[in-house]
Homo-oligomer: A and B are copies of this chain.
Amino acid sequence: MAQQTQSPILGVLGGGQLGRMLIQSAINYNQDIHILDPDPNAPCKDLCQKFAVGSLKDFDTVYAFGKECDVITVEIESVNAEALIQLEKEGKKVYPQPQILKLIQDKREQKQFYKEQGIPTAEFILTENKAEVIHNKGFLPAVNKLGKEGYDGRGVQLLRTEADLKNAFDAPGLLEKLIDFDKEIAVTVARNESGDLIVYPAVECAFHPTANLVEFLFAPADISAEVEQKAKEIAKEVILKLGMVGILAVEMFVTKEGEVLVNEIAPRPHNSGHHTIEANFTSQFEQHLRSVMNWPLGNPDLRCPAAMINLLGEEGFTGPAIVEGQDEAIAEKGVYIHMYGKKLTKPFRKMGHVTVLDEDVSKLKTKAMKIKGIIKIKSV
């Protein structure tokens, strides 16, 4: 089984931080990467064999970009799936498969998929417009989600009481029963073309109170072996029922009764897997590469307990970014900074992340809090 050093070209739709960390892994394998991103200063600029500037949503742009690649993947879901379907027809490998991207682009279809496949998820009602949301006020408290274009906290809102109904989305979306959960966890799974499948240990996510973004992540999750097992089985079921190739992050709620419900899924490296770079035997980025290139998958075990802190732009600062407290933070043992190469900050923009390692889980939380208090992204 000889493999050429000059390997097939991997095209990535999106050149943000996920692409950037994918590139860091791809370098180890002499894997040439082409990137398409609408932003000429995207984080992947200067770090790949070809960096093309163009819309991810335009059929012709995506199609022309993909034609020059052998395998095509994504680091963001909102891309032109039709162009990918055409490329797939013409013999290109596209992972995750375009039909799965289409499913995930629409939260309504995603929820129906869970229901049809018997995958546990919060109860929901599809709504076509604001009037339908109001009509279903008996379903409150609920989360109101837009079907399309939601991302990183956008297009998702909590409707707690009737007074909140004035904000209801006036576009196709859904109402999801508010889950009085105990914890939010995530399990990453990966599958290659040959059908090999691996499952990462569950991680625990702590969300920012208002920004709806992961603020802290802890691995391992502080859950029972039974809940962990249930969560892993569900994540496996999701990737198998999707028939997906690539890496898939499955975000789940653990209810106070120990029930596990799928919240959302992401068919790509995901914020809930950033710690794997230092904390696991195989990082999610290398795993994604292995899965889409149909290489053997890597061991997903945790090497050391870890916390991950998102470095979000501080509120009140917009403009050229500066990192405050970096020196103090990196002087600590087991602290790993990953900046994303973004020149401009704005409130809650994901500017980087920090992974903290510590064999002692109780010390880990203290250390993570401390680091979070030290590093701040502000502007000049």
Residues of A within 8 A of B (CB): 1-6, 20, 23-24, 27-30, 46-49, 281, 290, 295-296, 298-299, 301, 303-304, 320-328, 330-331, 333-334, 336-343, 351, 357, 378, 380
Contact = CB atoms under 8 A, between A and B. Distances in A.
Given A28-B336, A47-B27, A296 B331 contact: yes
B281 A330 contact: no
Contact of A6 (B27, B290, B325, B343): B343
A1 B334 contact: no
Contacts of A324: 1-3
18 contacts: A1-B325, A2-B323, A5-B320, A5-B343, A20-B27, A28-B336, A28-B339, A46-B49, A281-B333, A281-B334, A295-B327, A296-B327, A296-B330, A296-B331, A298-B330, A299-B334, A301-B333, A303-B304
A240 to B, nearest CB: 21
Contact of A24 (B27, B301, B326, B342): B27
Given A28-B337, A281-B334, A301-B333, 13 more contacts: A1-B325, A1-B328, A2-B322, A2-B323, A2-B378, A3-B324, A5-B342, A29-B339, A30-B341, A281-B333, A296-B330, A296-B331, A298-B333
A6 B380 CA distance: 11
Nearest to A328: B1
A132 B4 CA distance: 49
A330 B47 contact: no
B27 A320 contact: no
A124 to B, nearest CB: 40
